[in-house]
Amino acid sequence: MPRAGLTPQTVVREAAVLADEVGHDRLTLAALAARLGVALPSLYKHVRGVDALHQKLAVLATAEIATELTTAAAGRAGGDALRATATAFREYARRHPGRYPATQRAPDPDDPEHLAAAERAVGAIYAILRGYDLAGDAAVDATRMFRAAVHGFITLEAAGGFGLPRDIDRSFDEMVAALDTAYRNWRSR
Amino acid sequence: MPRAGLTPQTVVREAAVLADEVGHDRLTLAALAARLGVALPSLYKHVRGVDALHQKLAVLATAEIATELTTAAAGRAGGDALRATATAFREYARRHPGRYPATQRAPDPDDPEHLAAAERAVGAIYAILRGYDLAGDAAVDATRMFRAAVHGFITLEAAGGFGLPRDIDRSFDEMVAALDTAYRNWRSR
DNA sequence: CGGCGAAAGCTAAGGGGGTTAGCTTTATGG
DNA sequence: CCATAAAGCTAACCCCCTTAGCTTTCGCCG
C-alpha cells in the first residue's frame, strides 16, 4: 500500500481547508484523517493531538492575517489605511470562517513562530496609528480598540448577532469612520 | 432512594454555576449530572440535550446581562451612562466567565423568552444613544459599534489576547472614552 | 385512604471522537 | 543491498452524548 506522504505542514494546511468548509467546531481528527485518506491515529505522527492541531491552525491563520493586513496598509496612510486594514481583516474572516476562530486562543509563549505572527499582525495595526500621531500608551490603547471593535464586529456578524434589517456592510463602514473620528480626536478630550 | 427534585430551571441554574467554575467549553452533561447527584440520562427529563442546555444558558445569561445593563444606565445619561453600561457589561463577563460565552449564539427565533432578553439588552444600549442625539440608522450603527467594541474587548481579554504590559483596565477606559468622542461627533464627519 | 397515572430517575446499550501502545511496512542513505 | 528511522496500521480504552425501556415515586382524585 502506497504511503500518503504527509507532513505536519500538509496536515495543518488541509485542516485549514476542512475547517473553512465545515466550521471550526467541526474540525475533527476523524474527519481530517478521512479526508487525507489515512487512519486516524496516523495523524499523531505529525501532530501531537487535537489541541495542538488547533494551535497550529491558529499560527497559520494569524500569519495569514498579518500578511493581509500589512498588504492592505501598504501605500496608504491615515483614514485610508484604517479603512483598508479593517476591511481586509473582516474579509479574511468571511473568506476563512473556519480558520478565523482558531485565532481566538492566546499565542503560545513557547512558539516563536506564533509570537512572531501575532506581533506582525498587531504591528500592522500599530503602524497605522502613527498616521494619527499616536504613540506609546495611547497607541497601545488605540490598537486594542481597533482589534476589539473589528474582532467583535466579525464575531457578532458570524454568530448572526445582528438582528435588525439595517445593512451590515453599512454599519461596518460607519464603525470604521467612527474609529477614524475617535483617533483624530484622541489627544484632545 | 429519594428523588433529586430537579426542574428545567434548577438544571440550567446549576449549569450556569458549573460553567462559571470550569469554563464554558467544559460544561458537560456528565459533570452536570454528577454535580446534581443524578445519573446522566436523567437530565434528559429536563433538557433536550447538550445543545439545548447551552441554548438555555444563553437565554439565562442574556437576561441577566440585560438587567445589569438597564440597572447600570438608570439615572445616568450621556458619557456617564455609556461608561456605566460598558463597565457593567465587562464586569458581568468577568464575574461569569462561563455564562458569557454562551451568549455568543444567535437568539433562537422560536424562543420568545430569548428574543425578549436580547431585545432588552440591545434596547438598554440603544437608549443610551438617545443622549447623543442619535436615532434611526445612526443609532443602530452606533449600537452595533458599542456591542462590537465591548464584546470584542471582553473576548480578547478573556483569551489572553492582550500581550503587552500596558494595564488593561486603562485601555478599556480609554476605549470607552473614545466611543464617547465618536458618538459626540457622529453626525459631523 | 387507597390506588392510578404522570413524571422522575435508573440501567443498558450503542455511537462518535480522542489517545496510547505496539506492530508492520516503506523509504532512504550509507 | 540492507539497516534504520519514520509512516502508517490495528487494537484497545476512555469519555461524552443519546435513545430505549424499565422502575419508582409522588400527587391527585375517587
Per-residue pLDDT reduced to its tens digit, A103-159: 999 999 999 999 999 999 999 999 999 999 999 999 999 999 999 999 999 999 999
Residue of B nearest to A154 (CA): B148
Kindly state the percentage of chain B with pLDDT values over 90: 95
Indicate yes or no: CB of B161 within 8 angstroms of CB of A137. Answer: no
Best probe of the B interface among A51, A100, A141, by most B CBs < 10 A, is A141
Q: Which CATH class is domain B8-184?
A: mainly alpha
Instruction: Tell me the pLDDT tens digit for each residue of B125-181.
Output: 999 999 999 999 999 999 999 999 999 999 999 999 999 989 999 999 999 999 999
Please indicate if any CB of chain A lies within 8 Å of the CB of B106: yes
Residue at the smallest CA–C1' distance to nucleotide D6? A45
Pick from B148, B170, B181: CB nearest A189: B181
Half-sphere exposure of B105 (CA within 13 A, CB side): 18
CB B69 within 8 A of CB B124: yes
At B189, is the pLDDT very low, low, confident or very high (cuts 50, 70, 90)? Answer: confident
B5 CB and strand C closer than 7 A: yes
Instruction: Tell me the pLDDT tens digit for each residue of B44-66.
Output: 999 999 999 999 999 999 999 99
**Among candidates A45, A17, A18, A13, which has minimal Cα distance to A30?**
A18
Separation of CA B13 from chain center: 15
**Among candidates B59, B61, B44, which has minimal Cα distance to B8?**
B44
DSSP state of B43: G
Please state the domain extents for chain B.
Answer: 8-184
Bases of chain D with protein Cβ within 7 A: 6-12, 15-21, 24-26
Q: What are A78's three cell numbers? A: 491615515
